[in-house]
């Protein structure tokens, strides 16, 4: 079962890297849009997957591949913390507050929406 998580994690990590690079080039790096978009979309996806798995009793191997593996490799709480610290070090307290609060509030809301639409 661990191999399913590893395979999903590899794909999720590559997706995070690719999307993060694209968003950074497209929107700049003054605000950590890449990580924000990745974490919100990952929360939406994980909420949807959770709904699908709880309502349709899908395979545990599929959960390991997509939920634990892909979503775990795709989303990044550690980068969220690191980028929050960087904003604070630059004395961008308002931007830090917006980033932290919107990440948590919108992330949880996205997970709920994902669950509801499953």
Q: Which residues are annotated as a binding site for Na(+)?
A: 72, 75
- Check: CB of residue 46 under 8 Å from CB of residue 114: yes
What is the token pair recorded at 71?
């979503």
63 is written with which tokens?
A: 């959960």
**Number of C-alpha atoms within 13 angstroms, CB side, residue 37?**
17
Q: Which residues are annotated as part of the binding site? A: 72, 75
Burial of 83 (0-12, 13-18, 19+ CB in 10 A): buried
């Amino acid at each position: 079962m661990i191999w399913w998580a590893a395979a999903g994690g590899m794909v999720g990590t590559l997706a995070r890297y690719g999307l993060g690079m694209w968003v950074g080039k497209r929107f700049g790096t003054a605000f950590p849009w890449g990580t924000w978009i990745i974490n919100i979309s990952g929360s939406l996806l994980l909420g949807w997957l959770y709904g699908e798995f709880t309502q349709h009793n899908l395979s545990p191997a599929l959960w390991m591949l997509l939920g634990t593996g892909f979503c775990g490799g795709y989303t990044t709480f550690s980068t969220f913390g690191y980028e929050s610290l960087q904003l604070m070090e630059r004395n961008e307290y308002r931007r830090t507050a917006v980033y932290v609060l919107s990440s948590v509030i919108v992330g949880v809301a996205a997970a709920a929406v994902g669950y509801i639409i499953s």
